[in-house]
């Protein structure tokens, strides 16, 4: 966190009193994410069944692959019938689709969005770019391997994968969730320092809190 | 009002039945709108999945006391409306805690949740929440004016503010329903109903395309679970209220479900046919025909 950009400063309140404001400490929560313990095994299984059948995708297309998500809402593919829905706010979503290439500039936003989602949360890597950079393998500003920066639960390969592949990917993700193996949020909390080090290595202008609550 | 403690479990049972009907309708209505759009649509039991999922979210964040209380106030409004309204006419078990002036309380509780939500969403600090609540309050307020005029007309017609007595006065066939005896008030009420059922053309408040999700932008997990509980109870409470006031009430659950379903379909059909209004357009709309009809209804009684 750089304090140079947001230094402490004196502020005069409406009542005439002056006080010091340190933006990064006063406006943001500094706590680290915690590993969440699961409930009783039977209850957890029931919850996982509900979670798998209610995938709410955060409406944030990070790359060209986002165009393949739009047809899923049309009569031809109609993903709603599989319990898939799109939410306009990360707070209510539990699935983040990194759709295609992820530029370093977008990675910063993707991290903020991912951290604002409430666990258990899942990440789906869409397209070859999320696995090895794909056709952008030698680009100067594109992320090569997504799971260095965010915990990925499943990948959908192809360039571009068709909407059918996406539907198949959702079904695979559902199986992973129902088996109780989609622990991305806990992995992120466990290996928090490792993820942050990777993220800060490529994001040069890191001007946000370490974890965006 | 004679208070009988044995009414508490029966009222809670009635509340649970209303909640289940609401959950069913929340799956059924998107199915209809999907069919209109030539889609297959969600599974009819999808709201139950979403409901359990919301309560299974492990982490949550808060923005302060009022952020917690927002959904609680909202749910209080919905539950209060059901608990103080006679569900089944002539039934001791499902007459709930109806009393002489329950219509006034009902109109108050209808607004109460929205105000609580405004405070909660305001504390979240999210600009979309604030814009959504401002739009919602503007629209609900303006839809409330013709609704109150229609209620005044019905109350003056039957010389009472008790929902039970209004239902009792309508018994004995369709010719005694307010729909027939006071058609102007019924028309006003049904137009006002459109404004608060969160269907097109009056759903700009919650529209993801306009302001992402609106008032509940910051609400997640259990908070959202409480809000969705209310989204099942609150519209059903309004529908049952309209059934009681205008359409003769219900003497058993089958009639309640049938009439409730038919009344619910009115905003849904209007919604799939007409495109969405902006807030300023909907305010102007409510201040034209429904308001004039409302004044006419009061003048005619």
* pLDDT score for A3: 59
Confidence of residue A50 (pLDDT cuts 50, 70, 90): very high
Q: Please indicate whether, in this complex, the C-beta atoms of A46 and B52 are within 8 angstroms of each other.
A: yes
Q: Which of A118, A119, A122 to mutate to test the interface with B (most CBs of B within 10 A)?
A: A118
Q: Please indicate whether, in this complex, the C-beta atoms of B34 and A78 are within 8 angstroms of each other.
A: yes
Question: Within its chain, how far is the Cα of A128 from the centroid?
Answer: 18
Instruction: Classify residue A58: in a domain, yes or no.
Output: yes
Instruction: Classify residue A96: in a domain, yes or no.
Output: yes
Confidence of residue A55 (pLDDT cuts 50, 70, 90): very high
* pLDDT score for A29: 83
Q: Please indicate whether, in this complex, the C-beta atoms of B43 and A88 are within 8 angstroms of each other.
A: no
CATH (domain of A133)? 3.40.50.12280
Average pLDDT, chain A: 91
CA distance B256 to B249: 7
CA distance B93 to B14: 8
Token pair 């969730």 in the structure block, residue: A177
**What phi and psi values does residue A97 have, to the nearest 5 degrees?**
-100, 115
A35, A52 Cβ separation under 8 angstroms:
no
Partner B contacted by A86 (CB < 8 A): yes
pLDDT per residue as tens digits for the range A21-41: 888 788 888 888 999 988 789
- Rounded to the nearest 5 degrees, what angle is found at the Cα of B281, between the Cα atoms of B280 and B284? 85
Q: Please indicate whether, in this complex, the C-beta atoms of A78 and B219 are within 8 angstroms of each other.
A: no
Instruction: Classify residue A35: in a domain, yes or no.
Output: no
Instruction: Classify residue A72: in a domain, yes or no.
Output: yes
Q: Please indicate whether, in this complex, the C-beta atoms of B49 and A47 are within 8 angstroms of each other.
A: no
Nearest by CB: A80 against B34, B213, B221: B34
A67, A97 Cβ separation under 8 angstroms:
no
Above pLDDT 90, what percent of chain A? Answer: 68
For B281, the 3-state DSSP assignment is helix
pLDDT higher than 90, residue A206: no
Instruction: Classify residue A68: in a domain, yes or no.
Output: yes
Q: Domain of A57?
A: 53-202
Task: Supply the ipTM of this predicted assembly.
Answer: 0.90
B246, B178 Cβ separation under 8 angstroms:
yes
Cβ-based burial of B90 (10 A; exposed 0-12, middle 13-18, buried ≥19): middle
Q: Which of B33, B50, B59, B227 to mutate to test the interface with A (most CBs of A within 10 A)?
A: B59
CB pairs under 8 A between A and B: 87
B39, A75 Cβ separation under 8 angstroms:
yes
Partner A contacted by B34 (CB < 8 A): yes
pLDDT per residue as tens digits for the range A98-155: 998 999 999 999 999 999 999 899 999 999 999 998 899 999 999 999 999 999 999 9
* pLDDT score for B165: 93
Instruction: Classify residue A39: in a domain, yes or no.
Output: no
In which residue ranges of chain B is pLDDT below 50? none
B97, B1 Cβ separation under 8 angstroms:
yes
Into how many domains does chain A fold? 1
């Amino acid at each position: 966190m750089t304090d140079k950009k947001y230094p402490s400063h004196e502020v005069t309140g409406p009542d005439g009193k002056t006080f010091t404001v340190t933006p990064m400490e006063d406006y943001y929560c500094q706590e680290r994410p915690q590993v969440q313990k699961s409930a009783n095994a039977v209850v957890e299984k029931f919850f996982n069944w509900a979670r798998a059948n209610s995938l709410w995708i955060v409406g944030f297309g990070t790359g060209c692959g986002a165009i393949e998500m739009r047809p899923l809402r049309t009569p031809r593919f109609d993903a709603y019938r599989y319990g898939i829905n799109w939410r306009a706010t990360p707070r209510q979503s539990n699935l983040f689709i990194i759709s295609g290439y992820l530029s370093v500039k977008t990675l910063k936003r993707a991290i903020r969005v991912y951290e604002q989602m409430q666990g258990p949360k899942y990440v789906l890597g869409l397209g070859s770019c999320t696995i090895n950079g794909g056709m952008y393998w030698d680009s100067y500003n594109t992320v090569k391997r997504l799971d260095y920066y965010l915990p990925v639960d499943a990948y959908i390969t192809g360039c571009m994968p068709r909407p059918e592949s996406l539907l198949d990917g959702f079904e695979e993700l559902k199986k992973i969730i129902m088996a109780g193996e989609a622990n991305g949020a806990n992995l992120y909390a466990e290996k928090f320092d490792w993820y942050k080090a990777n993220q800060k290595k490529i994001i040069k202008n890191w001007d946000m809190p370490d974890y965006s609550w | 009002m004679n208070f009988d403690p044995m009414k508490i479990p029966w009222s809670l049972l009635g509340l649970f039945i209303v909640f289940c009907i609401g959950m069913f309708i929340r799956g059924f209505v998107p199915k209809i709108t999907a069919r209109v759009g030539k889609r297959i649509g969600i599974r009819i039991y999808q709201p139950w999945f979403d409901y359990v999922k919301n309560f299974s979210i492990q982490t949550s964040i808060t923005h302060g006391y009022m952020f917690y209380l927002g959904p609680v106030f909202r749910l209080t409004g919905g539950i209060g409306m059901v608990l103080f309204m006679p569900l089944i006419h002539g039934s001791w078990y499902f007459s709930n805690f109806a009393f002489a002036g329950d219509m006034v309380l009902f109109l108050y509780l209808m607004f109460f949740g929205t105000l609580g939500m405004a405070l909660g969403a305001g504390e979240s600090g999210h600009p979309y929440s604030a814009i959504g609540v401002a739009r919602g309050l503007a629209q609900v307020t303006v839809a409330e004016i013709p609704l109150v005029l229609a209620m005044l007309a019905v109350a003056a017609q039957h010389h009472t503010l008790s929902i039970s007595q209004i239902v009792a006065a309508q018994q004995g066939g369709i010719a005694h329903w307010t729909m027939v005896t006071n058609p102007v008030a019924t028309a006003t009420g049904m137009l006002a109903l459109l404004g608060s059922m969160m269907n097109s053309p009056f759903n700009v408040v919650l529209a993801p395309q306009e302001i992402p999700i609106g008032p509940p932008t910051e609400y997640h997990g259990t908070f959202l679970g409480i809000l969705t509980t209310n989204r099942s109870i609150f519209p059903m409470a309004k529908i049952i209220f309209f059934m009681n006031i205008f359409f003769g009430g219900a003497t058993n659950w089958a009639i309640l479900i049938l009439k409730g379903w038919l009344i619910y379909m009115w905003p849904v059909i209007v919604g799939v046919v007409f495109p969405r209004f902006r807030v300023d357009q909907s305010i102007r709309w409510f201040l034209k025909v429904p308001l004039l009809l409302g004044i006419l209804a009061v003048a005619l009684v």
